[in-house]
């Protein structure tokens, strides 16, 4: 007699479908948000570099100060990447060979750049948007109490430099929003500014 489509089985099917849909929307949304959350996308970026340079050896094993090579960090907005000539100031003499008597890979590459008189096209790891004006020297004033590693991570342990912090604005604000505190022996109390033109102009 009845040919209705609205049977109990229909009800169950619709309900199952809705449940599955609901769960996938929630799970998918959470997964998508987590994946596309910009801070998460920025963290952990570790591109291959054109030259096999190893911070773990330089800053780790040999304990060379960061500013020995990144000379401008205390003086200006950009920390500065050493020029090939800067590298060669030491590496003219230091030409370490591996067990088989070959030059180490990075050194061989460096020599090649030096001979060709071309710069090294490093890949930017800590890359801020162009509309952000970050100044290294301002952040490395004594009273801030900041160390390079606070933002860049413990580079002295990194074979290849990895971005450990998102460097997104929310991350910046985490520090800038902190209450004033005494940071130096002289007892300066400062509070980092949080208004827009601090970083954008």
Partner 1 sequence: MSSNDATPNDPTGYAEGAPAGADAMHQGLAVLGRSEVPIHDDHVDAPSASEMTRRTAMKMLSLTAMVGMVSGCVRKPERRIIAMHDRPEYQQPGMPLYYASTWLEGAHPYGLLVKQIDGRPIKLEGLQGHPLNPGGKSTGPMQASLYSLYDPERLRSPKQGGADVSWSAADKAVVGALKGAQRVLLVTRSTLGPAEKALVARFRKAVPGALHMHYEPAQDRVRREVWKQVYGAPGEVTTSLENAKVILSIDSDFLGTDGDVLGNTRGFSATRDPNGEVFSRLYVAESGMTGTGTSADHRIPLRPSAAKEFVVGLAMALGGDSKTLSASAGRFGWDPKVLEALVKDLNANRGAAAVLAGPHLPAFVHSAVASLNATLGAAGKTLGWNPTPAAAIATDPAELLQALNAGPDVAIFLGVNPMHDFPGAGFADALGKAKFTVAQGLTEDETLAAAEIALPSAHALESWNDAAVSPGVKGLAQPMIAPLFGGRQIGDSLLAWTKALATGDDALAKTKDFHAWLKSAWGLGQTAWEGALRKGYVGSAAKTTLPAPKGAGFPEPADPVEGGYDVVLALHPNTGDGRWQGNAWLLETPETCNKVVWDNVAAMAPSTASALGVEEGDWIKVTVGEASVELPVLPQPGVQKNTIVTHVGYGRTKGAGHGNGVGVNVAALGVGLLAAKVVKASGDKYLISRTQHVFDQDYSHTDTPVKRHIALSGTPKEYAEYKAQPPRPDPSTLDPTDGTLSFPDTQKHKIPLTQIDEAVDYSKGAKWGLAIDLGQCTGCNACMLACQTENNIVIDGKEEVAKGRDMSWIRIDRYEAGPEDNPEILLQPMLCQHCDNAPCETVCPVNATTHSPEGLNEQVYNRCVGTRYCNNNCPYKVRRFNFFNYTGKQTTSPVQELRANPHVTVRTRGVMEKCTFCIQRINAAKFAVPDRGERLKDGAVTTACQQACPADAIVFGDANIKGGKIDRARKSDLAYHVLEEINVRPNVTYAARIRNVHPDLDHPVKGGH
Partner 2 sequence: MTPPEETEVVGGVSGPQATLQKIDDDIAAPFESFPTTRWLAAFTVAKIGAAIFGISFVYTIAVGIGSWGNNNPVGWGFAITNFVFWIGIGHAGTLISAILYLLRQKWRTSIARFAEAMTIFAVIVALQFPMVHTGRPWLAAYWLLPLPNANGIWVNFRSPLLWDVFAVSTYALVSLMFWYTGLIPDLAAARDRATHRVRKLVYGILSLGWKGSNRAWQHYEKAYLLFAGLSTPLVLSVHSVVSFDFATSVIPGWHTTIFPPYFVAGAIFSGFAMVATLIIIMRKYFKLQHIITIDHLDVMNRIVLVTSLMVGYAYMMELFIAWYSGVAFERFAFMNRAFGSYGWAYAIMVTCNVILPQLLWFKKIRRTIKYMYPIVIAVNIGMWFERFVIIMALHRDFLPSSWHDFTPTIVDYGLLVGSFGLFLTLLLLFCRFLPTVAVAEAKAVAPGAQPTGGHHA
Partner 3 sequence: MHDQDRKVVGMIGLFDEPNALIAAAEKVRDAGYTKWDCHTPYPLHGLDDAMGLKPSPMPYITLTAGLIGGCLGMYMMYWMSAVDYPVRIGGKPYFSWPAFVPITFEAFVLFAGLATMGGMIKLTKLGRWASPLHDNDVMVEVTTTRLGVVLEAEDPKFTQEAAQALLDETGCQDIRVLYAPEDEASEDEASEDDDAATEHGEV
Give the one residue of 30, 173, 180, 189 binding partner 3; rule: CB under 8 A. 173
Contacting range for partner 1; rule: CB under 8 A; set: 6-14, 23-31, 40-48, 154-162: 40-48
| DSSP structural state of residue 190 | E
170 binds partner 2 (CB under 8 A): yes
Q: What sign has the CA pseudo-torsion 200, 121, 78, 73? A: positive
Q: How is residue 119 written in tokens?
A: 């710069």
Give the one residue of 34, 195, 197, 201 binding partner 3; rule: CB under 8 A. 195
Compute how many residues bind partner 2; rule: CB under 8 A. Answer: 15
Compute how many residues bind partner 3; rule: CB under 8 A. Answer: 17
* Residue 12 interaction partner, one of partner 3, partner 2, partner 1, none, beta carbon < 5-8 Å per kind: partner 3
Which x/- pattern over 99-138 shows residues binding partner 1 (rule: CB under 8 A)? --------------x---xxxxxxxx--x-xxx-x-x-xx
For 117, counting Cβ atoms within 10 Å of its Cβ (0-12 exposed, 13-18 middle, 19+ buried), the class is exposed
CB of 24 to partner 1, least distance (A): 22
CA angle 109/115/121 to nearest 5° reads 50
Q: How is residue 45 written in tokens?
A: 């970026």
Q: Would you tell me the crossing angle of helices 105-116 and 84-91 to the nearest 10 degrees?
A: 120
């Amino acid at each position: 007699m009845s040919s209705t489509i609205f049977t109990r089985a229909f009800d169950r099917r619709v309900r199952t479908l809705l449940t599955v849909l609901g769960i996938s929307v929630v799970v998918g949304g959470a997964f998508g948000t987590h994946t596309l959350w910009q801070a998460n996308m920025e963290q952990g970026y570790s591109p291959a570099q054109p030259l096999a340079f190893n911070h773990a050896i330089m800053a780790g094993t040999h304990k060379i100060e960061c500013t020995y090579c990144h000379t401008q960090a205390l003086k200006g907005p950009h920390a500065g990447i050493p020029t090939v000539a800067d590298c060669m100031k030491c590496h003219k003499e230091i030409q370490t060979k591996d067990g088989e008597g070959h030059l180490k890979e990075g050194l061989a590459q460096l020599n090649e750049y030096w001979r060709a008189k071309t710069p090294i096209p490093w890949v930017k790891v800590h890359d801020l948007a162009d509309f952000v004006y970050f100044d290294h020297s301002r952040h490395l004033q004594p009273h801030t109490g900041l160390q390079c590693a606070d933002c860049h991570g413990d580079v002295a342990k990194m074979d290849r430099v990895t971005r450990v912090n998102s460097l997104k604005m929310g991350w910046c604000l985490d520090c800038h929003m902190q209450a004033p505190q005494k940071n130096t022996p002289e007892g300066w109390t400062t509070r980092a500014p949080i208004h827009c033109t601090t970083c954008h102009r």
